[in-house]
Amino acid sequence: MLSKPMETALNHQINVEMESSYIYLAMAAYAQAQNHPGAARWLHAQSREELAHAMKFYGYIHDRGGRVTLQVIPQPPVEFGTLVDLFDAVLEHEQTITGRVHSLYELALAEKDYASLPLLQWFLSEQVEEEKSAEDVLRMVRVAGLSGQALLFVDAELGKRQVG
């Protein structure tokens, strides 16, 4: 059984993951409107991945005898600037999520909820991948600059990401 503080924190994390999905979907829409279909595809895939993360927490709460309580998801921004600005925001967002998962891990330790540690360790490992992926894309976009053939090439590469 989950402790009340852990159940509350995991429910909040569902909200965080759903908000992340919504933010990435807004970013995808923005990229599409800015004629960056590859970046839009990459961000759409990211949105779906974040939704899957929310559902992983959802299932875990139920598996541990807790109750899922959904919360309001704020409206995401609609403007993101250049492609460099947009992927700067992606990296910053992933770093914020990493901090949230660290806090959950610390709470699980404080609550002696050792059963939650494998799940949270999975998310910590996932965040290493998420940050690296965002950093890799940001590096490519920065090298490509804001226009020209290099940016078209980078956008095409981003478009190769599968949308689960």
Per-residue confidence band for 155, with pLDDT thresholds at 50, 70 and 90: confident
Note the CATH architecture for domain 4-158: Up-down Bundle (1.20)
Is the predicted pLDDT of residue 164 greater than 70, yes or no? no
Q: pLDDT tens for residues 51-69?
A: 999 999 999 999 999 999 9
Arithmetic mean of pLDDT over the chain: 95
Question: Which one-letter amino acid corresponds to residue 80?
Answer: F
**What crossing angle do the helices spanning 117-144 and 37-63 adopt, rounded to 10°?**
170
pLDDT given at position 162: 75
pLDDT given at position 161: 80
Is the predicted pLDDT of residue 146 greater than 80, yes or no? no
Angle at CA of residue 56, ends 19 and 78, nearest 5°? 15
pLDDT given at position 47: 98
- By mean pLDDT, which of 2-11, 71-80, 85-94, 152-161 is the weakest? 152-161
For the chain, which residues make up each domain, given as ranges? 4-158
Residue with tokens 């970013």: 27
pLDDT given at position 148: 80
> Which residues lie below 8 Å from residue 147, measured CB to CB, with a gap of 6+?
none
CA 157 to chain centre: 20
Is the predicted pLDDT of residue 81 greater than 70, yes or no? yes
DSSP string, 45-97: HHHHHHHHHHHHHHHHHHHTT--------PPPPS---SHHHHHHHHHHHHHHH
Q: pLDDT tens for residues 103-144?
A: 999 999 999 999 999 999 999 999 999 999 999 999 999 988
From CA 114, how far away is CA 102, in angstroms rounded?
15
Is the predicted pLDDT of residue 147 greater than 80, yes or no? no
